Structures are given as structure tokens and as C-alpha cells.
Amino acid sequence: MTLSRRRFLQAGGVLGAAASMGAMANVPFSQGDTPPRLLPPVGSVDCHMHLYDSRVPAAPGATLLPADASLEDYRQLQQRLGIRRMVIVTPSTYGTDNRVMLDGLLRSRGDARGVAVVASSITDTELGELHQAGVRGIRFNLSVGSQALDGIEKLAARVDELGWNVQVAPGPLLPEVAPRLLALPAKVVIDHMGHVPQPEGVKSAAYAALVRLLDSDRGWVKLSAPYLRSKSGAPLFEDVGRVATALISHRPDRMLWGSDWPHPTLASEHKPDDGLILDRLMAWAPEAGTQTSILRDNPVRLYDF
């Protein structure tokens, strides 16, 4: 059973939530203005969010060009959800330019860790500088095809020495690339529930690949962006929820939660209600102890908070 909001406010909350939640409305890039029913435990982490700043040019050929989304904008969402910590992921928009993410790390005052996108030519000194800044992972986005994994084996071995993870946005290619991911020496984090297709769901090859990764004891899965593959749609995302429930039941110690704010793949009129999305975790993982593992204990361990 989830702790009550009353107990949360009596305890002082997170980010001054007692003072701010009643006044919170119109969070940028998010629908709704009421707090979620689920009370995240103190120390919880939003494991997948992005920042955008048009003062930093997009990479040549970038197709996803969202509006500016600042750390100050995101802090409003944190106040609404009651989550202070975050993992800032460099989006595909910037290629290997991590300046926006690094600026967010600096201004987060210790509340954030980062996931960078790097070239295979990156030096050990540069990796060390990223580590000092708070980076704890590198990301490969397969939206351009499996060739995006070029050089992953050598990079994975190098970042594993730093204790980092390798994060993969697989799109529909997870079954194809799973053997390569299973052979990596580093921890592997899969974005957005592996983009398991619907209506196949738990019967799909993508779900089977996720299970193999989890069984390797090096795989982790982000329970994020349920809207990407859902056919049943908001607010319940029942089809994707069945995938989430199965994954959590299989390896609750390898699950992470992420908002995917500012939801860059969705048009402004289709941004979700982030409070309702967080509340889906109560349906996927009804036990308070499992919720605590997903929201706090697992990411604190993985991202070195």
C-alpha cells in the first residue's frame, strides 16, 4: 500500500512540496496539475529525462528538434511528482555534443547523473572529465539502424572500468542486436521497455530478448514512455502495462522508472499527464517495497548516487 500524501506533507516532503504542490500548475511539456497518488520515497530518481537549448546547434541531419526545455522547467515537474534526483540523457538532437547535459549536471548541485553520447575516438582524459562531472553511462540510439552500435564493444570495455553502463535505445531492432549486447562486458540499460511491440507484447521476440538480458545479471530496463508502443492508449496504457508487470515480476531488482520529459517524440497537444504516468507504477508494482526498489534503490545503485 502506498504511503499517504498526508504523511508526506507532515514529514516535510521533497523540494518543499508542502508549500508548492497546491500551487503547481501548467508544468511545461506536461498535462495536468494535480500531484500523483503515489508517494515516491525520499531519494527517488527519474532515470530518463532530457534538456534542450537552442543556443547549442543541433547535429547535422538531426530530425528531432524539440522546443527549449530547461532545468528550471523540469524542476517544476519534480515539485509536482515529489522526485528530486534525475538522470539527464543527451538526446539524439545533439549527436556527441554533451554540453546541454553537462550544464544541467553542473546546475543540479548534485541531484543529477548524466548519460552521454560519445565518439569512439574519445580519450581516457575526456572520459575522466565526464566522470568527474557526474556522467555514469553512454548511450547508443538505434533509430538510424544497427550501424549505430559500431565501436560499442571497445567503448563498453572502457566505460565498464569506470563503473558506467551502456544504454541502448533499440527501437524495433532489439531482437537483432541482443546477441551483441549480451556479449558486452558492461552493464546494459534498455530504454523505454525495449520498445516491445503491440499487440504481441510478452509473446514478442523483443520481450524474449529483454528477458535474456535480465537473466544475464547485467541487463536493466527503463519503465518509461509507455505511450511509444501502446495501442490501447492513455491514461491506462493497459497493453504496455502487461509488459511492465511481467518485467517487474521477473526482475524487480533490475527495473528503473523514467518520465521521458519533455516527451520529445510527442507533439505539444499530445503531451501526457506525468502524474498519471507515475501512478501507473502502482498498478504495475502494487507492493510498496517493489516501488521503492524501482524508484530509489535500483537507480541509486546503478547511477552511483
Catalytic positions, please?
260
Sign of CA dihedral 127, 128, 131, 133: negative
C-alpha cell read off for 10? 507532515
Q: Which residues pair with 223 in a beta bridge?
A: 257
- Nearest Cα to Cα of residue 263 among 208, 226, 294: 226
Asked if 143 and 92 count as a contact pair (C-beta separation under 8 A), the reply is: yes
* Strand 135-141, strand 219-223: pairing: unpaired
Residue 223 to residues 5, 95, 109, 240, 294, Cα–Cα distance (Å):
23, 24, 26, 10, 9
Asked if 81 and 280 count as a contact pair (C-beta separation under 8 A), the reply is: no
Instruction: In whole angstroms, give the CA distance from residue 223 to residue 194.
Output: 9
Instruction: In whole angstroms, give the CA distance from residue 240 to residue 105.
Output: 31
- H or E segment at 159? helix 152-160
At 13, the amino acid letter reads: G
C-alpha cell read off for 24? 503547481
Asked if 187 and 218 count as a contact pair (C-beta separation under 8 A), the reply is: yes
Asked if 61 and 93 count as a contact pair (C-beta separation under 8 A), the reply is: no
Task: Give the burial class of 302: count Cβ atoms within 10 A of its Cβ; 0-12 exposed, 13-18 middle, 19 or more buried.
Answer: buried
Report helix, strand and coil shares of the chain as percent, to nearest 5.
Answer: 45, 15, 40
- Name residue, grid cell 509473446: 203
